[in-house]
Amino acid sequence: MDLKGGCLCKAVRFSGSVEPAFQVKCHCTDCRKSGGSHAAIIGVPDGAVAFTGEAREFSSIAESGREVTRAFCPVCGSGIYSQTAAAAGLVFVRASVLDDPDQFTPQMSVWTSSAAAWDFVTPGVPSFSESPA
């Protein structure tokens, strides 16, 4: 899959030819607050996608108790990617900033217990109230 995308102002871009490790919608509170009603994320091997421009990172302790680092454009604020020690070796690109958002195919939904009542939890794929083990 040829993943291409970038932030709203185009200061941060990425591209890479890569097979996604997995594709997830995360409805946790932190993902919601970081932009959007949830985070649609594509896990790819670290280094498989090349970034241009300078993203800023923010780290916090997730509901799971693990540290998650989220990167965003310091100019326009678009969320670009995230990383967590729980999935070492992977970078999670945000599907919201793909040039073609339909490259994202959700395989599961996680943290649906924190989903906003008005948000859409994709039917027909496995759904977990918290994070699966």
Residues at the contact surface with Zn ion, assessed by CB under 5 A: 7, 9, 11, 26, 28, 31, 73, 75-76
Are the beta carbons of 97 and 55 closer than 8 angstroms?
A: no
Burial of 37 (0-12, 13-18, 19+ CB in 10 A): middle
Q: Which is nearer to Zn ion, 17 or 52 (CB)?
A: 52
Residue 26 CB, shortest distance to Zn ion, in Å, is 3
Chain Cα centroid distance, residue 23: 9
Residue 32 CB, shortest distance to Zn ion, in Å, is 8
Q: Which is nearer to Zn ion, 7 or 40 (CB)?
A: 7
Residue 74 CB, shortest distance to Zn ion, in Å, is 8
Give the three-state DSSP class for 127: strand
